[in-house]
Structure 1
């Protein structure tokens, strides 16, 4: 419980926490953020890491000019982290398969796999790109692609496009928009809005799946 409380505080006040990281670790911040992005995209058990808000907040802080960090170095390193992370997740999917998901697991819920698989089936290879912008889905989708034995060359094509698009759009959005007075004055609100907007599709999919299950159960009972 304490971990999730810390995680929520980290997301809601991510700019303050990043400022502390930059102050304490300076250029090692590149490596720390590399590892966070790599972990979120590379390990199927870490879908809770705050990629979107972290990227936007980091772009904003760099634009402020007091970090000593380069937005271009950060952009390059985080794109590499996102691509390598998805590649690792794909490999884990090919080796571990669907058996790691089950109904009792609070993190690797079977419904997450089912929702991601449906998303993957509907959109095909483009799901690897689309999922980059959807928390939980972006962590599960490359794993599902590995389980489905999607050709690695085809997966890599979509993986690179998605990784470049995701990192560039969020980091540069923070860099370009974060210093606008109204955004800067309401930064906490902006971060919450980013979290709500990006998590909404995952929440909607989970609720729809839950209602469908209830409907199926009622039909079975009637029969």
Structure 2
């Protein structure tokens, strides 16, 4: 059973639980949004959920959470974010690291941030405190959210009952995410195109 409580949680609270978990993670809370997404998509493969609903709910939660985080960071600034976020593990060093990445690479970081722990949690808050333009953020954030939800949902749905292997595998390789993510996205796009051709044929 994945992480002990995760699968019972998604069984009990369903897609509302998935939405809340992904939403809170995107706002900066240390909760396993990615893990719940993988579990929910795996359960969808076994008929418990509609995979389209899983994708939609997770995407809405991710984009809403990041945008609320951005609004908090932009409105209240670093002092308030650090003071109130300390209980959630948001430290000066962690926030500064993400702000530095955003200032150095901007939109690219926002698009791929969801695939990297720490960046995923602090992406919106840091973009707000760093003063990133909201329109640039919201477009990049939506693209990143779609790639993140689409990739993990597709892979977990394909693995079905064995979807938990994805989380274990990702825990080992996420330090190299910046190298691996573009490859997985290419695999996802190719796989999606093949599936569409098969359906048409």
TM range (shorter): 0.7 to 0.9
Residues 77 and 145 (structure 1), Cα distance of their counterparts in 2 relative to 1, 3 Å cut: same
**TM superposition shift of 1:192:** 2.4
Q: What's the CA shift string for 1:42-74, capped at 9, x where partnerless?
A: 2x3x1x211222222221111122x1x100011
Q: CA RMSD in A?
A: 2.3
Tell me what 1:40 maps to: 25
What is the distance in 2 between the residues matched to 1:113 and 1:120?
11
**TM superposition shift of 1:108:** 1.4
Matches within 5 A, 1:1-223: 12-13=3-4, 17-19=6-8, 21-22=10-11, 24-25=12-13, 29-42=14-27, 44=28, 46=29, 48-65=30-47, 67=48, 69-99=49-79, 100-101=81-82, 105=86, 107-179=89-161, 184=162, 190-198=166-174, 200=175
Q: What's the CA shift string for 1:61-94, capped at 9, x where partnerless?
A: 11122x1x10001111211111111110000001
Alignment gaps of 5+ in structure 2: 178-201
Contact 1:52/1:195 (8 A) holds in 2 = no
Secondary structure of the corresponding residue to residue 150 of structure 1:
coil
Residues 123 and 113 (structure 1), Cα distance of their counterparts in 2 relative to 1, 3 Å cut: same
**TM superposition shift of 1:195:** 2.5
Contact 1:56/1:172 (8 A) holds in 2 = no
Residues 188 and 76 (structure 1), Cα distance of their counterparts in 2 relative to 1, 3 Å cut: closer
Count of paired positions: 173
Query: What TM-score, normalized to structure 1?
Result: 0.69
Task: Show structure 1 runs of 4+ deviating over 4 A.
Answer: 187-190
**TM superposition shift of 1:189:** 5.2
Residues 77 and 21 (structure 1), Cα distance of their counterparts in 2 relative to 1, 3 Å cut: closer
